[in-house]
């Protein structure tokens, strides 16, 4: 909630304009009640005006920064009100002292029944408790008082649980805003395998009515509900529609889909921040990953990035132990940026982007977390309005590698499939694995990669 304004002084100064009958209408508590009602009404109006001003300023700054991927997050205000589709402010998307963003004063905890009793404290309000059966976890979302809103303060309050909790961090998609028209006609994608593979993705809502998906099988589940509020968060569609079109879409009636026989399970976790920016809370991301494990998918594409988080790290380890292959974009924060997650976790296959000339995308993150490079620059993708647009980013390279792995997992174990891709990669840059291209470039248009190897 925005800090309450000092409205009582305002009302005192304007008090003489009240009707005379109100001034002498009876006991003082009646007058006090009317003053309180007016105070609350004025405060609510003031809060709405402040939120509207923040939203307008945010849209302007994001529009100005949209040409530079790294500018989108930096352009957000310290506190951004996030509204439901009904126009109610659900929470504040807040910049933290370390530069990351999270839901203001919200934390997540994985705990047993016995451990939950430790949360009974006047500075803690439990907002939601969820049993994520696919992941084998119980996750509690709670809000803390301003005085307790730090890891040090919570470690002092909950010493036995400090290593099992973290902020409800916010994660972002990794591709540029749309170009109005495709900038260049690039060779069409080719089918990598026609078998009925099961592939998952966590992203925005997909407009599966787009002509590119006329023959695709897409199952969607939305994870945008907010506890204690009516209505879900506003749903963007552009990023998920683009990523899905790389996996199972056909850019034209003559073109092939990479995975024409696939069933794509899409967990929608992103909410709308502005006309060109979106975000996903960790709580919603966990719900989406849990659902995907229950769908028995072979591989999950994660075209989003954010900070290291104890809860997310624990979930990634569990997914790896369950044999789920995770492919993630390494991020578009630039060559000097620190590693982003989940791509930088052990067991996750991090993917960077190159153009048609095999040149590295200039905004791509670099580091040991890069496993492979794939095409992700000036890619023609589906747009929710039914058209085709051009986008760039590691978000669009990641699903190419996910598709290649899905085909190999039909015949190989996850370890064998990864080894096969390493053997098939075209070494670029420094010899062997390097922080720019990883093990090398995977050319999904190559005949050599079209037929998956046998075990």
The mean of the pLDDT values for the chain is 85
User: How much is the pLDDT for 138?
Assistant: 94
User: How much is the pLDDT for 34?
Assistant: 59
- Domains in the chain, start-ordered, CATH in brackets? 93-168 (3.30.70), 172-450 (3.40.50.200)
User: How much is the pLDDT for 5?
Assistant: 39
Structure pTM? 0.84
The pLDDT of 229-238, averaged and rounded, is 84
Confidence of residue 174 (pLDDT cuts 50, 70, 90): confident
Q: Report whether pLDDT(59) > 60.
A: no
In whole angstroms, how far apart are CA 294 and each of 282, 291, 453? 19, 5, 28
> Up-side HSE of residue 107: CA atoms within 13 Å toward CB?
28
Confidence of residue 11 (pLDDT cuts 50, 70, 90): very low
Distance CA 387, CA 364 (A): 27
Q: Report whether pLDDT(60) > 70.
A: no
Q: Report whether pLDDT(45) > 90.
A: no
Distance CA 60, CA 47 (A): 20
Q: What is the pLDDT of residues 288-333, one digit of tens each?
A: 999 999 999 999 999 999 999 999 999 999 999 999 999 999 999 9
Q: What is the pLDDT of residues 369-410, one digit of tens each?
A: 999 999 999 999 999 999 999 999 999 999 999 999 999 999
The pLDDT of 335-357, averaged and rounded, is 97
For 436, other C-beta atoms within 10 Å of its C-beta total: 17
Distance CA 194, CA 173 (A): 28
In whole angstroms, how far apart are CA 372 and each of 32, 96, 327, 419, 454? 68, 32, 10, 12, 21
Running DSSP on this structure, what letter comes out for residue 187?
Answer: P
In whole angstroms, how far apart are CA 16 and each of 21, 43, 305? 12, 20, 56
3-state SS assignment for residue 134 = coil
């Amino acid at each position: 909630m925005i800090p309450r304004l000092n409205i009582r002084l305002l009302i005192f100064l304007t008090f003489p304009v009240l009707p005379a009958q109100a001034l002498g209408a009876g006991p003082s508590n009646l007058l006090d009640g009317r003053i309180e009602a007016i105070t609350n009404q004025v405060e609510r109006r003031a809060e709405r005006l402040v939120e509207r001003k923040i939203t307008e300023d945010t849209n302007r700054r994001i529009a100005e920064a949209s040409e530079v991927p790294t500018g989108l997050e930096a352009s957000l205000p310290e506190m951004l009100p996030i509204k439901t589709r009904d126009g109610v402010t659900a929470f504040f998307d807040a910049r933290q002292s370390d530069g990351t963003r999270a839901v203001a004063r919200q934390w997540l905890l994985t705990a047993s029944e016995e451990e939950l009793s430790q949360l009974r404290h006047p500075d803690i309000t439990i907002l939601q408790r969820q049993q994520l059966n696919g992941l084998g976890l119980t996750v509690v979302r709670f809000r803390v008082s301003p005085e307790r809103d730090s890891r040090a303060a919570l470690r002092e309050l909950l010493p036995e649980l400090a290593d099992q909790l973290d902020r409800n961090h916010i994660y972002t998609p990794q591709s540029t805003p749309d170009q109005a028209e495709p900038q260049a006609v690039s060779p069409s994608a080719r089918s990598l395998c026609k078998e009925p593979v099961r592939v998952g993705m966590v992203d925005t809502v997909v407009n599966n009515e787009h002509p590119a998906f006329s023959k695709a099988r897409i199952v969607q589940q939305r994870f945008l509900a907010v506890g204690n509020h009516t209505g879900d968060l506003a749903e963007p569609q552009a990023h998920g529609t683009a990523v899905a079109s790389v996996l199972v879409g056909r850019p034209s009636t003559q073109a092939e889909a990479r995975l024409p026989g696939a069933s794509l399970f899409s967990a929608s976790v992103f909410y709308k921040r502005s006309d060109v920016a979106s975000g996903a809370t960790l709580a919603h991301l966990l719900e989406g990953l849990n659902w995907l494990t229950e769908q028995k998918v072979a591989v999950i594409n994660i075209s989003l990035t954010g900070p290291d988080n104890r809860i997310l790290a624990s979930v990634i380890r569990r997914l790896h132990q369950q044999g789920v292959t995770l492919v993630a974009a390494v991020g578009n924060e630039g060559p000097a940026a620190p590693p982003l997650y989940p791509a930088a976790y052990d067991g996750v296959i991090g993917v960077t982007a190159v153009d048609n000339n095999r040149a590295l995308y200039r905004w791509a993150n670099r580091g040991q977390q890069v496993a492979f490079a794939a095409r992700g620059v000036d890619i023609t993708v589906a747009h929710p309005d039914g058209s085709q647009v051009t986008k760039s980013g590691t978000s669009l390279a990641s699903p190419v590698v996910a598709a290649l792995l899905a085909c190999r997992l039909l015949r190989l174990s996850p370890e064998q499939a990864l080894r096969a891709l390493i053997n098939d990669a075209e070494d670029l840059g420094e010899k062997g694995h390097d922080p720019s291209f990883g093990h090398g470039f995977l050319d999904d248009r190559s005949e050599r990669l079209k037929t998956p190897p046998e075990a």
